[in-house]
Structure 1
Amino acid sequence: MYAIKTLNNISDKGMKLFTSEYDLSGEGKADGILLRSYSMHGMELDDSVKVIARAGAGVNNIPTEEYAEKGIVVCNTPGANANAVKELVLLGLLMSSRNVVDAVDWVRSIKDNPDAEKVVEKEKGRFTGQELTGKKIGIIGLGAIGALVANMCTSLKMDVYGYDPFISVSAAWGLSYKVKRVENVDMILNNCDYVSLHVPLIEQTKNIITADRLKNAKKGLILLNFARGGLVPEAAIKEALELGSVSTYVTDFPNNNLLNMKNVICIPHLGASTEESEENCAIMAVNATMEFLENGNIVNSVNYPECCMGPADKRDRISICNRNIPNMVGQISGILAEKGMNIAEMKNQSKGNYAYTLIDTDNDVDEDTLDRLKSIEGVIRVRLIKARNKVS
């Protein structure tokens, strides 16, 4: 029996996927944790926790490096909310281009005027906007969401430019041939009428849109941020708005400073707030949790490498989280050889400072073998997954 704890409400569409092998009462020591936006920084965890699944893409609310050091695999759900965010970006483009927010606020202000229709016809010219067709848009980050946004913008007959030095093969395959590749962020900002941000908030991207970059941006730029607030420093956007290099800033991450700035359209973090998105995220998070606990397979992890060997149903499987250092696989296989154990299948993958190894054996795995594997310098966690339908 595996115990699951939830730190936020998780859609029933996902939770119902858990089988009778799972205790969802939230009592006792958890094997897996599911959450959305709950902050886990400073949270004390039981040693029993093996996997954490975030029903969403961003994991800045989870200390992923700290948990990697404890052998806890952290997964997210990339792409599950991509369509929801893409549609909100479209709304942001239209609102900022057609002065919709100011226009709606103004028309509400004349609701008690008996000549409202005449006033509207007289004053509507104050809110003249621009069309998207033919305009240049730069997409910074071409992952699951950025690629959808780029393709959408080509359908709107916009001239689309993309920047992503780390684009994945799968994302590249799904990208329209009409998207033009750009070498750096500055080329995007300096030449585009619109720029939409779709990169994760990590050390390399924090405050990526600097004041100096915005000073050299194409005058009147409309900047959209549906990725993370920390990508754009508030002081930089304030200065750019005052200088006119940025005409409008659309953000899904409001705060007191931004709410008091003119020409900033604040949306209350609605990027993934659709029923479909929440269901998709929950389903992916639950499936990743079950896959790891039952089979040791890692899917969509942010702190350990992807590593899959199918179901653990015929042979006992050893799961090892370790630091990415030389001769680790040799030491592991050496201990198994000394114990007279035959390796039926083995897979080792690395990611940054950490690595992960799965081993299927033709032999029973005893406690002494597990203890010897745990004693290898650099090994963080060792787990035995018993075969469900063992080969005799």
Structure 2
Amino acid sequence: MTSFRIKTINAIAPEGLELLGDEYAVDPDDSNPHGIVVRSSQVDVDDYPELLALARAGAGVNNITVDKATEKGICIFNTPGANANAVVDLVFPMIGIWLRNIYQGIAFCKSLAEIPPDQVSGEVESRKAAFRGVEIAGKTLGVIGLGQIGVRLANGGIQRFMKVYGFDPFPSLDNIHNLLPEVTVTRAMRDTLAQADIVSLHLPVNEKTKGMVNADFISKMKPGAILVNYARGPIVDEDAVLAALDSGQLEAFISDFPTPAVIRHPKTLTTPHLGASTAESEGNCSRMAVRELSAYLHYGNITHSVNFPNIESIPSSTVHTRLIIINNDVPGLIGFITNTLGNHGVNIVSFKNESNGRVGYNIIDLESALDAKILAELTANKDVIRTREITFS
């Protein structure tokens, strides 16, 4: 019997969707789903009145109206780390393509198809010096943003015999602990920028990072450095980068986000947003997104949410109803909830609460069904954003 309606937006890898059982109805044309799985398309949660949760099969969520979702009690998930290998797998070859003049070398070789065969070998020997490059080994790599992608890139630099500096404005200890000891983590971004021959960006897009790579940022970089953006396009002030390329402050700009101005410049190298475009990455993201969404719909559990606190609880065999209460994080809400339930003689099997500083999330397990009047009393509190009942057979 179908319990939940799931809408897919974009091509979601089947490896994840195959994890959904018969209790799910998956339909890309569903106009009023309980859950959504999306990759890169823009999603406005106002368009879906019964939406409970949305899972982004990727790391960035700038294509989703997250603030609106929080106000409506809609949980937004992402899949950090699921595409990390794919991005790192592409960044190093792209740096190598620039440093070794591989793009020009390939174009030259293709042009040899137009000359007589007996002249090809001589032409290669006489002109190959024009494409001589430099090695990655020995260069200094600066990584801005030490999430799972940034950490793997930094470690990859060490494995390629580079010196590596890293900076993150809000470091996660779990990620930092995964850095190789040879990586130097600086306390100020300028200390990383000043050392690096190559600066690679690995930050999310938000109000603090949008346009962060501006003229002031570039002025702190080592003259003649290479800037790499395989994070998000809006992080970079395009005009500032082009001006720095013209002045020689930057040697090159390597990006996954082509625009008309960027692709026309001779000192740029771009790919068509391929960072996460591997079969393995898409499968990993799909599986992770579906597992997150399913755990939330079935049990109210949360992992890797960008707007709600992470929280998990396993219901015991005596639990009949799980009550989910999402609220503004203000004093007195837990007392209000427990007093309301206690005043009506409701026995609480377990009560778990977590907060992220803005949103409080409560998982309350009950031995019996919850009367609609009690639920209405809880919902009437001005700081309760949303309530939800999950019934176990």
TM-score by length of 1: 0.95
* Separation of aligned partners in 2, 1:321 and 1:108: 61
Partner residue of 1:31? 34
- Residue number among 258, 266, 272 corresponding to 1:268 in the alignment: 272
Partner residue of 2:190? 186
Shift of 1:363: 3.3
Describe how 1:247-286 pairs up with structure 2 within 5 A.
247-286=251-290
* Separation of aligned partners in 1, 2:128 and 2:193: 31
* Separation of aligned partners in 1, 2:9 and 2:315: 28
Report if aligned partners of 1:294, 1:312 keep a CA contact under 8 Å in 2.
no
2:175 equivalent to 1:171: yes
The CA deviation string for residues 152-178 of structure 1, in whole angstroms up to 9 with x for no partner, is 111111111110132212212211111
* Separation of aligned partners in 2, 1:218 and 1:171: 27
Partner residue of 1:82? 84
* Separation of aligned partners in 2, 1:284 and 1:357: 23
Aligned length: 387
Partner residue of 2:49? 47
Secondary structure of the corresponding residue to residue 170 of structure 2: coil
The CA deviation string for residues 302-361 of structure 1, in whole angstroms up to 9 with x for no partner, is 111111112576412111111122211111111111111222221222224222111112
Of 108-117 and 324-333, more deviation after overlay is shown by 108-117
Report if aligned partners of 2:318, 2:367 keep a CA contact under 8 Å in 1.
no
The CA deviation string for residues 70-113 of structure 1, in whole angstroms up to 9 with x for no partner, is 11111011111110111011112211211111222233233212
* Separation of aligned partners in 2, 1:271 and 1:312: 43
Report if aligned partners of 1:313, 1:387 keep a CA contact under 8 Å in 2.
no
Partner residue of 2:293? 289
Shift of 1:294: 0.3
Secondary structure of the corresponding residue to residue 253 of structure 1: coil
Partner residue of 2:333? 328
Report if aligned partners of 2:167, 2:185 keep a CA contact under 8 Å in 1.
yes
Partner residue of 1:6? 8
* Separation of aligned partners in 2, 1:235 and 1:369: 58
CA RMSD of aligned residues (A): 1.5
Secondary structure of the corresponding residue to residue 297 of structure 1: coil
Partner residue of 1:244? 248
* Separation of aligned partners in 2, 1:158 and 1:22: 49
In the alignment, residue 164 of structure 2 is paired with which amino acid?
A: V
In the alignment, residue 346 of structure 1 is paired with which amino acid?
A: F
2:160 equivalent to 1:156: yes
In the alignment, residue 382 of structure 1 is paired with which amino acid?
A: T
- Residue number among 207, 211, 232 corresponding to 1:203 in the alignment: 207
The CA deviation string for residues 55-84 of structure 1, in whole angstroms up to 9 with x for no partner, is 111111100011111111110111111101
- Residue number among 359, 362, 366 corresponding to 1:357 in the alignment: 362
Partner residue of 2:226? 222
Q: Percent same amino acid among aligned pairs?
A: 38
Report if aligned partners of 1:96, 1:222 keep a CA contact under 8 Å in 2.
no
Shift of 1:384: 0.5
The gaps in structure 2 that reach 5 residues or longer are none
TM-score by length of 2: 0.95
Report if aligned partners of 2:61, 2:78 keep a CA contact under 8 Å in 1.
yes
Describe how 1:118-157 pairs up with structure 2 within 5 A.
118-157=122-161
Per the alignment, do residues 312 and 375 of structure 1 end up closer, same or farther by CA in structure 2, a change over 3 Å counting? farther
The CA deviation string for residues 267-299 of structure 1, in whole angstroms up to 9 with x for no partner, is 111111110111111101110111000000111
The CA deviation string for residues 31-76 of structure 1, in whole angstroms up to 9 with x for no partner, is 11111111114x6433211001111111111000111111111101
In the alignment, residue 348 of structure 1 is paired with which amino acid?
A: N
Describe how 1:58-97 pairs up with structure 2 within 5 A.
58-97=60-99
- Residue number among 83, 103, 108 corresponding to 2:110 in the alignment: 108
